Amino acid sequence: MKIETLAIVGVGLIGTSIGLAARRRGLAGRVVGHDCRTTALDTARSRGAIDAATSTIAQAVGQAQVVVVCTPVEQIANHVIESALAGAPGTLVTDTGSTKGAIVADVEARLPPGVNFVGSHPLAGSEKQGAEHADAALFEGKVAVVARTPRTDPVALDQASGFWTSLGMRVRLMDPREHDWALAVTSHLPHLTAAALASVLPEQLHELAAGGFRDSTRVAAGEPAIWTGIFTQNRSNIRKALDSLDLVIARFRTALESTDQAEIAELLARAKKVRDALGN
């Protein structure tokens, strides 16, 4: 895959990392970036992630064959539509949002003809934010979910898949709603428990929070505004995932109350089996 001009809307950690990776891998001849924050644009340009910065989405998109919208989830649908309205016929627009159901449904209801949209979610990131933490290797070896719906154009689906593959990712096609349930379990629920764990740590115990606590709560350092949008868009699935978690926690609680060592051991063994299967 080779893109003459790639437009990136939103040059935070993800957008800037895409620019860096596309440049390093020779995927795009030229990368144009837009962001409403000029400091982010300056950082992205000084890091070599974008060749040019534009002050409007239309300016960035007008020159591009592929547009990646990397803004917070609650803004993505509008930015995709704005991109589509400014795009030349045949332009492919995709995104990087951590939720897919609401975004894809909203975009498909409003997408102007001539431009293709395929929702995406590269499963790569960091609890650190901003263009300054971007990393050209962020996507290598990771999974990108590409959302397929009955309305998805097959050629555009191939193009979007090829885009992520070119950045070193493995692509998994999923229905947007299936994605949102999966991510509620694999990402949003751990974020919630990490935040809850961090919240119950009193200051006088900070010194005693060792590696286990730090690992378990690392994602809680993520940007609250970003995650408020994700939690809000995926709230039903997160509640369902929380119900599943509560059942296991309740079993632990009962086992602790009754000093049921066999049950504690079984719960821990079951968890270890899953965690071991994931590897590092």
Footprint on residues 75-114 left by a copy of itself (CB under 8 A): none
Q: Alpha-carbon distance 160 to 28, whole Å?
A: 14
| Residues 130 and 13 sit within 8 Å (Cβ to Cβ) | yes
Q: Which stretch binds a copy of itself (CB under 8 A): 15-23, 51-59, 155-163, 227-235?
A: 227-235
Residues of span 235-254 touching a copy of itself by CB under 8 A:
235, 238-239, 241-242, 244-246, 248-249, 252-253
Residue 140 found at the interface with a copy of itself (CB under 8 A): no
Smaller CB separation from a copy of itself, 155 or 271: 271
How far is CA 181 from each of CA 71, 100, 185, 189, 275, rounded to the nearest angstrom?
21, 10, 7, 10, 20
Q: How far is the CB of 91 from a copy of itself (least distance, A)?
A: 29
Residue with Cβ nearer a copy of itself (162 or 190): 190
Among residues 88, 109, 155, 256, the one that binds a copy of itself under rule CB under 8 A: 256
- Residue 45 vs 188, nearer CB to a copy of itself: 188
150 versus 200: smaller Cβ distance to a copy of itself: 200
For a copy of itself, which residue of 36, 88, 155, 265 counts as binding (CB under 8 A)? Answer: 265
Report the residue number, 26 or 212, with the smaller CB distance to a copy of itself. Answer: 212
Site string for a copy of itself, 176-215 (x = CB under 8 A): ------xx-xxx-xxxxxxxxxxxxxxx-xxxxxxxxxxx
The whole-angstrom separation of Cα 82 and Cα 71 is 13
**Contact by Cβ (8 Å): 150, 140:** no
**What φ, ψ does residue 80 adopt, rounded to 5°?**
-65, -45
Instruction: Choose between 31 and 146: whose C-beta lies nearer to a copy of itself.
Output: 146
Residues whose CB is less than 8 angstroms from the CB of residue 264 and which lie 6 or more positions away in sequence, other chains included: 252, 255, 256
Span from 8-16, 43-51, 106-114, 225-233 in contact with a copy of itself (CB under 8 A): 225-233
Indicate which single residue of 26, 113, 150, 259 sits in contact with a copy of itself (rule: CB under 8 A). 259
Considering only residues 155 to 174 of the shown chain, the ones binding a copy of itself according to CB under 8 A are 172
Site for a copy of itself in 7-66 (CB under 8 A): none
- Stretch (H or E) spanning 66: strand 66-69
Question: What are the CB-based long-range contacts (under 8 Å, 24+) for 39-45?
Answer: 40/11, 40/12, 40/16, 40/130, 40/131, 41/11, 43/11, 43/16, 43/130, 43/131, 43/132, 44/8, 44/11, 44/15, 44/16, 44/19, 44/131, 44/134
